[in-house]
Amino acid sequence: MSSADHDTSAASPRTSPIALSLANCARAMSFLEQFFAAFALMVIVSTMGAQVFARYFFGAPFSWSEEVARLALIWMTFLAAAFVMAEGRHITVDVISARLSLRGQLWMECLSHCIVAGSCLLLMFGGSRFVWYVGKVGSPSLGIPMSVWYGAVEVGLLLMAIHSILNLVQVMATGQPTPRAGIVEEEALHLELEQGE
């Protein structure tokens, strides 16, 4: 068998229909999360700018701008946490995986995805009663139900759990652990830059 055939057979698990459909689903989710997080950031900047303008030019700041910016910040935080999860860029301490074989790394990654998804779902279901309960209370300025504020946490946890499950199924479909070379190289570059300063 030629080297080209060997490369094709080695790459075939990565290009299986299940892996491709899951990758496309995760990519679409990540795009939407980034879009809404960017929209929330735009809301924060515009409302804070309007607040400063109204304060210094009209002497009468808006009573609602700080509340809108705070709400947008909360939603942006948890939406960003979701797409950071999709890219595998949350802070991790990886001590064991580097010392394992490829099969061991695969099982370790599957276990970590299960733990993350389970923890997110447990926190989400545990907090759902509280989110429902505070829905009767409105925010001081605009009267927005507090369930909209705390609901950001629920949505963020649900999205992170979905990303973990998608990553788990994708890893199991390919039969290979997720390559971390790019992340390791980037972190090494940052470390070299910090040491050079």
Domain membership of residue 140 (yes or no) is yes
Tell me what pLDDT residue 52 has.
Answer: 87
Domain membership of residue 5 (yes or no) is no
The domain total for the chain is 1
* 58-88 pLDDT tens trace: 777 777 888 899 999 999 999 999 988 888 7
Domain membership of residue 11 (yes or no) is no
Give the whole-number percent of the chain exceeding pLDDT 90: 29
- Cβ atoms of 65 and 49 within 8 Å: the answer is no
How far, in whole angstroms, is CA 141 from its chain's centroid?
A: 30
* Boundaries of domain holding 38: 16-196
* Single pTM value for the model: 0.75
Domain membership of residue 2 (yes or no) is no
Domain membership of residue 7 (yes or no) is no
Domain membership of residue 25 (yes or no) is yes
Residue whose C-alpha is closest to residue 29's, from 37, 19, 41? 37
Domain membership of residue 6 (yes or no) is no
Residue whose C-alpha is closest to residue 157's, from 116, 129, 113? 116
